[in-house]
């Protein structure tokens, strides 16, 4: 069993979305060796298990143009876009104990990564 396979069964934040081929293998194994009371396994309607193709449609889609999110090529946040404290200072987040780093995402990049 490899690291990715272990993550198919993780119930925490390490859960890994199995690719369609592996999903079909899991479905077939569960339906062959699983308890008859739970069959069909991996079913939405309770009558038929999902196929790999149906499973792949459930996966979220993320498309990002290559090189577009390179923050070093973007202007620094200024004006209305910058979130500030009531005293007028730019909001800062503690990344490490010894380092204050501005981590506000430029609106242009935020809109890009949130649209689908």
Pairwise CA distance, residues 77 & 110, whole Å: 12
Cis peptide before 116 (omega within 30 of 0): no
Q: pLDDT averaged over the chain?
A: 77
pLDDT of res. 34: 94
Q: Band of the pLDDT at 52, cuts 50, 70, 90? A: very high
Q: What is the pTM of this model?
A: 0.53
């Amino acid at each position: 069993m490899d690291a990715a396979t272990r993550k198919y069964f993780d119930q925490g934040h390490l859960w890994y979305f199995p690719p369609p081929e592996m999903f079909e293998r899991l479905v077939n194994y569960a339906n062959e060796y699983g308890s008859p009371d739970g069959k069909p396994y991996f079913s939405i309607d309770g009558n038929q298990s999902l196929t790999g193709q149906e499973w792949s449609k459930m996966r979220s889609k993320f498309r990002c143009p290559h090189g577009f999110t390179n923050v070093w090529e973007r202007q620094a946040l200024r004006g209305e876009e910058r979130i500030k404290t009531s005293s007028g200072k730019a909001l800062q987040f503690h990344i490490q104990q010894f380092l204050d780093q501005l981590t506000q995402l430029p609106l242009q990049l935020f809109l890009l990564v949130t649209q689908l």
